[in-house]
Amino acid sequence: MKKIIYLTIIIAIFIGLSLYFNNQANTKKYLSKWILPTKNICINNGGKFTESHFSQFCKATYEDAKNICSLNNALLPSKDDLKKFVLSCKGSPNEKPNESYEVWDENSDNKFYTECYEKKGYLSLTYWSRNISPNYLIDFEDDARFAWMIRLGFGNIREDHVLNKNYVWCISDN
């Protein structure tokens, strides 16, 4: 009887470890899809390119950002991609910026969250998403069009005007 119990425990541990390592492999695969635009493509397509001591950045309007990612064989990330990125760093994504300011503090005070996205080469900046907001009205002038973006340091996903310039990161299946 003891052998059956020990065998059951060993099998349960083996299954648990297999599931854990499979999940870790899937997380790494997901995160490997993120790419930063190249300098030439950024500059030649309306973006402004800057470099820091540990990363490089491209800043552009929404339409330019979509084009820049396309020329890098990628897309702007979706809102769901942004949420998954925040969660992968143990942060709390926030889509209701006017209702829950405490989440801003929760993320900005979370040292693990901050160190995680910085290790991946990102700063506490605003990055575009490919999703348009319900306020993106194609029949109106540019002053009525909005798309989703994230304020990474706070995990705050909100709308921004498409003519504003935010940072560009792309996601690819390659």
The encoded tokens of residue 54 equal: 């540990």
Q: Specify the higher pLDDT residue, 29 or 112.
A: 112
Number of domains in the chain: 2
Q: Are residues 50 and 110 in the same domain?
A: yes
For the cut 60, the answer to whether the pLDDT of residue 142 exceeds it is no
The encoded tokens of residue 81 equal: 């991609």
Q: Are residues 111 and 151 in the same domain?
A: yes
Angle 143-144-145 from CA coordinates, rounded to 5°: 100
Q: Are residues 25 and 46 in the same domain?
A: no
User: Which value, to the nearest 10 degrees, does the dihedral of the CA atoms of residues 72, 74, 79, 84 take?
Assistant: -100
pLDDT at 141: 57
Q: Are residues 91 and 143 in the same domain?
A: yes
Q: What is the pLDDT of residues 49-75, one digit of tens each?
A: 988 766 778 999 999 999 999 998 899
Give the Cα separation of 174 and 163 in Å (integer). Answer: 29
| Positive or negative: CA dihedral 27, 32, 36, 41 | negative
Q: Are residues 71 and 106 in the same domain?
A: yes
Q: Mean pLDDT of all residues in the chain?
A: 77
- Looking at the DSSP assignment, which residues form a beta bridge with residue 126? 151
Q: Are residues 13 and 94 in the same domain?
A: no
Q: Are residues 13 and 81 in the same domain?
A: no
Domain that holds residue 162: 35-171
